[in-house]
């Protein structure tokens, strides 16, 4: 029996997130069904994260155990041939049996894209949030800097979270121009349910002058979700990197 690590990329538009769940199509479910077509059995696949419905992944890792003897290059080609076009396996390699796609990860980076409505493009709406006016980078980044470090991010999460430990360490958080997009980049040792989308929503409120750039201090102090910004839409969010 060997443990195989898959590096995949997917467009999350048509999926209800990564994890298998009843009455909804998920990336994990489709991947496991495709593995059955290649291997003749349906191995359990463990992902590095639980992306929400509609969220995309430039880089996502998952592992599985199998006794398959197909060479990795042939396995990769065969699996991609049966997967839908919105899920692609980019790499396949054998790893140590104690490697775990989720628990071996040291951190992750997410990216959230926005664009100005005046820069109309038929493809942008699927992957970015339209804004009526430019982000005030000075104000928004002052807020972003204030959440870097180890904090209890309970007020920056939604009630659907499944964990009790809500302390996380943010390594960096920055908003910068990226062509027609203005994007928030954030890396942390872990993320809570809707954490990035609420951080983005708060940064946008700061940019528009509805919240102070130093609002995070009071939000962390009180733990009051109502003091933070709204939860922005999922379609503009990408899991961008996983660090091992």
Q: What is the pLDDT of residues 30-83, one digit of tens each?
A: 999 999 999 888 889 999 998 999 999 999 999 999 876 767 788 899 999 999
pLDDT at 226: 97
Extended strands (E) in the chain: 2-10, 46-47, 56-66, 87-95, 107-116, 129-131, 149-152, 167-178, 181-188, 237-243
pLDDT of residue 67: 79
β partners of residue 46: 63
**C-alpha–C-alpha distance, residues 213 and 231, integer Å:** 18
Please answer whether residues 148 and 135 qualify as being in contact, where contact means their C-beta atoms are separated by less than 8 angstroms. no
**Residue 47: both structure tokens together:** 């992902």
pLDDT at 75: 86
pLDDT score, position 243: 98
Closest by Cα among 151, 194, 42 to 30: 42
Residue segments in the chain with a per-residue pLDDT below the cut of 70:
68, 70
Query: Which position among 11, 52, 136, 224 bears the catalytic label?
Result: 52
Name which of 188, 185, 197, 12 is nearest 105 in CA terms. Answer: 188
Q: Which tokens go with 205?
A: 């409120």
Q: Decide if 52 is catalytic.
A: yes
Q: Which pLDDT belongs to residue 42?
A: 85
201 close to 219: Cβ distance less than 8 angstroms: no
Query: What is the value of pTM for the model shown?
Result: 0.94
């Amino acid at each position: 029996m060997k443990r195989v690590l898959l590096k995949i990329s997917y467009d999350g538009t048509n999926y209800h997130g990564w994890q298998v769940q009843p009455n909804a199509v998920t990336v994990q479910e489709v991947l496991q069904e495709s593995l059955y077509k290649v291997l003749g059995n349906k191995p359990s696949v463990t992902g590095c994260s639980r992306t929400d419905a509609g969220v995309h992944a430039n880089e996502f890792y998952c592992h599985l155990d199998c006794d398959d003897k197909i060479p990795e290059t042939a396995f990769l080609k065969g699996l991609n041939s049966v997967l839908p076009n919105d899920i692609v396996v980019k790499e396949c390699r054998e790893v140590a049996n104690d490697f775990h796609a989720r628990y071996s990860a040291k951190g992750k980076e997410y990216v959230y894209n926005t664009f100005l409505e005046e820069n109309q493009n038929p493809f942008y709406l699927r992957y970015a949030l339209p804004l009526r006016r430019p982000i005030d980078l000075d104000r928004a980044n002052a807020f972003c800097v204030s959440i870097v470090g180890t904090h209890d991010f309970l007020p920056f999460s939604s009630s659907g979270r499944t964990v009790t430990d809500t302390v996380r360490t943010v390594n960096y958080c920055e908003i910068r121009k990226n062509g027609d997009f203005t994007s928030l980049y954030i890396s942390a040792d872990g993320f809570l349910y809707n954490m990035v989308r609420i951080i983005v929503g708060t940064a946008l409120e700061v940019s528009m002058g509805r919240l102070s750039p130093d609002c995070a201090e009071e939000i962390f102090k009180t733990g009051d979700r109502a003091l933070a910004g709204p939860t922005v839409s999922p379609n503009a969010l990408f899991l961008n990197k996983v660090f091992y």
